[in-house]
Homo-oligomer: A and B are copies of this chain.
Amino acid sequence: MFEGKTLGTPIAILVRNKDQRSQDYREMATTYRPSHADATYDAKYGIRNWQGGGRSSARETIGRVAAGAIAKKILREIAGVEIISYVKRIKDLEGVIDPNTVTLEEVESNIVRCPDRECADRMVDLIEQVRNQGDSIGGVVECVARGVPRGLGDPVFDKLEADLAKAVMSLPATKGFEIGSGFAGTLMTGSEHNDEFYADNGEIRTVTNRSGGVQGGISNGENILIRIAFKPTATIRKEQKTVTDSGEEVTLAAKGRHDPCVLPRAVPMVEAMVALVLCDHLLRQRGQCGAVNE
């Protein structure tokens, strides 16, 4: 997923590139990158891999994405669930996207995975500009799960929103999680915020979806909608003040290949984690309450 462009590259070249890359990381063997896991890993384990392929690399998520692909298939075939994730905002550039109708094709139609094409173009320009400055930027990924059956989730500790929050906050670089109205919902009154019920051919539906598809920890049949904040990448080429592992104060300007914006790559990770949580709760629901209706 992360190394897509090198697929098909002869092994000899890969090895040479790897040597080159390892050299780029050499300074990091002793110098802690600000806001990176370097220092905390050393504090906890007394050892860490600084060559770029260590356990704090987002490469770790490849196994999650693989498992998520199976979870998505189970969800689709057993319960008709569809999960789509996309870049909602990069820094202050926010796309206009309807989560109820967005398609995978729209998401994959451009390199930043933002289905609002015009906004996507501006995002690409912004990332290019930030890259040239040796800096980095973050943003917000949104994810919608459509067709989720009613009843998934537990009423106390394993509330559906709690498990979704843990799942996505276990991805690298995440700083925040929202479901439905999120933080903005705290500016409304209850009468404005509540999702009124109506009867739709015998089925109970809500007019609005500020709950984000979950009420009291349990899915209500509406679309599940979450947003995740990803911070700007920690490793940048700009010079920063930091310390070495022996406590010496130095400056660091990272060399090597560092992505100035992880958002487009985070999209499939978010999708995978949401799929794993929903699939798990689907199986628990079958265990407790019998077959899930489609």
Write the residues of chain A forming the contact surface with B, with a CB cutoff of 8 angstroms.
32, 34-41, 43-45, 55-56, 60, 89, 91-92, 130, 135-140, 150-151, 153, 155-159, 161-167, 169-170, 172, 174-183, 185-199, 202, 204, 206-207, 210-212, 214-221, 229-234, 236, 238, 240-243, 247-249, 260, 283-291
Closest to A214 in B: B40
Q: Are B229 and A178 in contact (CB under 8 A)?
A: yes
- The reply to whether A161 and B140 contact each other, CB–CB distance below 8 Å, is no
Q: Which residues of B contact A60 (CB under 8 A)?
A: 156
| Contact across chains for B193 and A231 when beta carbons are under 8 A apart | yes
- Select from chain B the residue with minimum beta-carbon distance to A199: B247
Q: A190-B136, A286-B286 are in contact. Are A229 and B182 (CB under 8 A)?
A: yes
Q: Across the interface, do A176 and B176 meet the contact criterion of CB distance under 8 Å?
A: yes
Q: B231 contacts A56, CB within 8 Å?
A: no
Check A175 against B170 for contact (C-beta < 8 Å): no
Q: A139: nearest residue on chain B (CB-CB)?
A: B186
Q: Could you list 25 examples of A-B contacts with CB < 8 Å?
A: A34-B196, A34-B206, A38-B216, A43-B220, A55-B156, A56-B216, A60-B156, A135-B190, A140-B183, A161-B169, A162-B167, A165-B166, A165-B169, A170-B217, A177-B177, A182-B229, A183-B183, A185-B231, A190-B234, A190-B260, A191-B240, A196-B241, A202-B247, A204-B243, A283-B287
